[in-house]
Amino acid sequence: KNEVEQSPQNLTAQEGEFITINCSYSVGISALHWLQQHPGGGIVSLFMLSSGKKKHGRLIATINIQEKHSSLHITASHPRDSAVYICAVRRAQKLVFGQGTRLTINP
Q: Which residues bind another protein (CB under 8 A)?
A: 31, 33, 35, 41-45, 48, 86, 88, 93-100
Rounded least distance, CB 14 to another protein, Å: 27
Cβ proximity to another protein, 43 vs 76, nearer residue: 43
Which of 70, 86, 61, 92 has its CA nearest to residue 25?
70
Rounded least distance, CB 17 to another protein, Å: 26
Cβ proximity to another protein, 77 vs 87, nearer residue: 87
Rounded least distance, CB 18 to another protein, Å: 26
The per-residue DSSP string of 20-84 comes to EEEEEE-S--SEEEEEEE-TTS-EEEEEEESSEEEEETTEEEEEETTTTEEEEEESS--GGG-EE
Cβ proximity to another protein, 27 vs 43, nearer residue: 43
β-strands 10-14, 101-106 pairing = parallel
